[in-house]
Amino acid sequence: MLPQEIIRKKRNGSVLEAAEIASFVEGLADGSISEGQVAAFAMAVWFSGMARAECVALTLAMRDSGETLDWGELGRPVVDKHSTGGVGDNVSLMLAPIVAACGIAVPMISGRGLGHTGGTLDKLESIPGYDIQPSPDRFRKVVDEVGCAIIGQTANLAPADKRLYAIRDVTATVDSVPLITASILSKKLAAGLQSLVLDVKLGNGSFMSDPEETEVLARSLVDVANGAGVRTSALITDMNEPLADAAGNALEIENCLAYLRGDKAGTRLDQVIMALAAEMLDTAGVAPDRAGAEAMARRALESGAAMERFALMVHRLGGPADFADRSQAYLEKAPAVVPVPAGRDGYLARCETRELGMAVIGLGGGRTRPDDPIDRRVGLSRLAPLGTEVEKGQPIALVHAADRTQAEAMRERIASLYTISDEKPEPRQVVRSRIT
């Protein structure tokens, strides 16, 4: 089938047959379809959408474009989580070792930064030696012995999605519900999961800022995944401010270690992690109920078992054996760090979260082209949460940059992204709803 005819048909709003979708995905995987044609197809889907049957066909075709994994020999539940992405969303780094410490296997296939959001793999590559693409045997061994392994797509795992993912990032087609659904689920289904929990972000720092559109995406993901035989549920969580108090690759690794040490209890980040951990444990059937599941997760964190799993995962995937204890010796530091002062007295009432993510990219901490290098030292830290009372000149964040000039220029930009008001804003619920 000619790819241009498939593109034309979708551009005109027609429903593609499963065979047409399979043919296009085959060309995606083997490289016979050009980058321009892939971009045109993605844009056609962005404008015309896809029926549920088309989305299922696209998901399954991308899943079957490479190998699929089977974890039957592990003898324990195999569960994963995926987030639709946001700013300061480093949840996977902590969540995987927490639930692994509770007896679940977590073979987590993660991605790089997409649009204004940070990528889990980019963060992990801040750790010297960490191998994001281990051999299949090494991946299996780490999951078996540690309980979790966070890696990237191998060349043989959903290769069609790997190519489409990179092109979407630079063609303004990231926020298409069918493409998001197929991209996320093709990798997850290829990973051989028994159940899946999704974190669908809502707010000005997510790809979805409209509550109805967000629920449409969550429903699409849950329905397609369950239809493919994987028990799946979703939480819709708030992304109207950075989730962690850091944004940037090495800075988010340091934030992860602080969380695993118990330094972030009670924060918005903590609430999301515990809610997702409870969902994963409950879905896997290893806890009597959701309250019991959250108690299990909290014990794994507070006992230090989760930190032990994280440290062991890092070491078994090539990182330093003492990384958790001596991270400062291994993580690169930005040459220039400057504070962002509050412009007036009052309460932090609002921030332009997406623009904070774009600021990290502007510092060099993300990509504008698929092959751009990343400066993993740069980013933002000590981000004050909304609702914080501040005085004029008080630091509300720190900018980490490659040089002083860049840091000072970015300081002004970051300050402009916050609104300070006389009235303290009403707190927002972090976990907004649950979709099953």
Distance of CA 142 to the CA centre of its chain: 21
Judge whether 201 counts as a catalytic residue.
no
Separation between Cα atoms, residue 121 and residue 126, nearest integer Å: 9
Q: Which of 188, 201, 367, 376 is catalytic?
A: 188
State the CB neighbour count (10 A cutoff) for residue 141: 14
Catalytic choice (59, 63, 64, 82): 82
Is the distance from CB of 391 to CB of 341 less than 8 angstroms?
A: no
Single out the catalytic residue among 140, 187, 400, 411. Answer: 187
Strands (E), 228-314: 231-238
Choose the catalytic residue: 48, 59, 80, 140.
80
Give the position of tokens 């010297």.
128
User: Is there a contact between 367 and 374 (Cβ–Cβ < 8 Å)?
Assistant: yes
Q: How far apart are CA 406 and CA 222, in angstroms?
A: 43
Q: Active-site residue 392, yes or no?
A: no
The verdict on whether 188 is a catalytic residue reads yes
Structure tokens at 55: 């989305």
Catalytic residue among 63, 168, 231, 268: 168
HSE at residue 308, side-chain half, CA atoms within 13 A, is 12
Nearest Cα neighbor of 235 from 194, 185, 193, 274 is 274
Q: How far apart are CA 168 and CA 188, in angstroms?
A: 19
Q: Known catalytic residue: 315?
A: no
Catalytic residue among 23, 59, 65, 83: 83
> Which of the following is catalytic: 173, 183, 233, 283?
183
Residues 400/380, Cβ–Cβ less than 8 Å: yes
In the annotation, is 117 catalytic?
A: no
Is residue 10 part of the annotated active site? The answer reads no
DSSP-derived secondary structure for 177-216: HHHHHHHHHHHHHHTT-SEEEEEEEESTTSS--SHHHHHH
116 is catalytic: no
Encoding tokens for residue 66? 């490479």
Work out the number of other CB atoms within 10 angstroms of the CB of residue 138. Answer: 16
User: Choosing from 48, 65, 117, 120, which is the catalytic residue?
Assistant: 120
Q: How far apart are CA 364 and CA 303, in angstroms?
A: 37
The set of catalytic residues is: 80-83, 120, 168, 183, 187-188
